[in-house]
Amino acid sequence: MSDITSQDIALFARVLSKIEDSFMDRLTPEELRAFKKLQTLQDSLRVSSERKKGDGSPDRQSFDAGMKAASALLKFVSTREPEEEDKGTKARKVEWEVSGFDDEGDCDAAAKACGGMVKKGYDRDKSKFLRRDIDEGDLGVLYETNLTTEGDKYSLFFKYVRESEGKARMVGVAIGSHSGTGNRYYVVKKDGGKSKNQVSATKKL
């Protein structure tokens, strides 16, 4: 039985990357645990391959099993219907109380976007995917949409702060351009001007 090669490792990594880049928000808790185990296996196989032990190792067996599992997971989550996904994750609607915007209409739009997107833990711009085990201070783009009647394109930014197990609050929700520091953000006003603003969002009980 031949040892795995760097090409084998690269193929395994590409399959896992495809899941991570496109389907992390679809994974059930069980699937997420399986995915993390596959990542650990891939790292282990990569290290083993680099050492080139070549001693009739079980690497090929482990690789074949891992590759088969990863490919099956990718196929399953990429073709699963939303209804099945919802049943599997038992997703609940998350509602947020949003305050601090200059314009009440922006507050309403932000609240609606929060309720629709936070539960998926998904960064539209793919600069960062938010795992289910969100860490304190994680930051990402929540939603991008047309929030005004003028049709201007805005982004909603947010930051999670964990309060206790299973509970989190969100701070720094804002429309416009991220200022890049802490939870301070620029809010783009309808007249085209910009102002620094600090807003907050808390989960409705």
Give 10-residue mean pLDDT values along the chain (205 residues): 75 87 76 87 80 61 89 87 44 42 47 41 34 37 35 44 48 42 38 44 40
Q: Where are the domains of the chain?
A: 6-88, 96-203
Cα of 105 vs its chain's centroid, Å = 27
Name the 3-class secondary structure at 198: coil
Which are the contacts of 176, defined by CB distance < 8 A and separation ≥ 6? 154, 155, 185, 186, 187, 188, 194
**CA–CA distance, 82 with 57 (Å, rounded to integer):** 41
Per residue in 75-95, is it b (16+ CB within 10 Å) or e — as a string?
eebeeeeeeebeebbeeeebb
Look at residue 69 in the predicted model and tell me its pLDDT.
93
Q: Residue 58 has what pLDDT?
A: 53
pTM over 0.75: no
